A and B are shown apart, each in its own frame.
Chain A
Amino acid sequence: MTCRRAQHEFDAVLDGRNAAEAWRHIQSCAECRRQFSNLDYLHKAAAKTPKPLPPSNLRERIARSIFSI
Chain B
Amino acid sequence: MKSAFHSESEIVERAAAGSRDAFDKLVDRFYQGVYAHAYRILRNRDDAADATQMTFVKVHRSIKEFDRARPLKPWLYRICGNVCIDIARSRHRSHEELEKHAYMLESDDRPEDAAEYSELQRKIYRAIMNLPDRYRRIIILRHYDLMDVEEIAQTVGTPEGTIKSWLFRARVLLKKELAAALLGQDGFSPQLEPAV
Contact = CB atoms under 8 A, between A and B. Distances in A.
A52 B148 CA distance: 21
Contacts of B1: none
B31 A62 contact: yes
Contacts, number: 113
Given A15-B148, A51-B32, A53-B32, A42 B195 contact: no
Contacts of B28: 59
Contacts of B178: 42
Interface in A6-32: 7-9, 11-12, 15, 17, 29, 31-32
Contacts of B53: 58, 61-62, 65
B121 A46 contact: yes
Nearest to B146: A47
Given A42-B178, A54-B52, A65 B194 contact: no
B57 interface: yes
A7 B194 contact: yes
B170 to A, nearest CB: 11
Contacts of B14: none
B77 to A, nearest CB: 14
Interface of B: 20, 23-24, 27-28, 31-33, 35-36, 39-40, 45, 48-49, 52-53, 56-57, 60, 111, 114, 116-117, 120-121, 124-125, 128, 142-144, 146, 148-149, 164-165, 167-168, 171, 174-175, 178, 185, 187-189, 191, 194-196
Interface of A: 3-4, 7-9, 11-12, 15, 17, 29, 31-32, 34-35, 37-39, 41-43, 45-55, 58-59, 61-63, 65-67
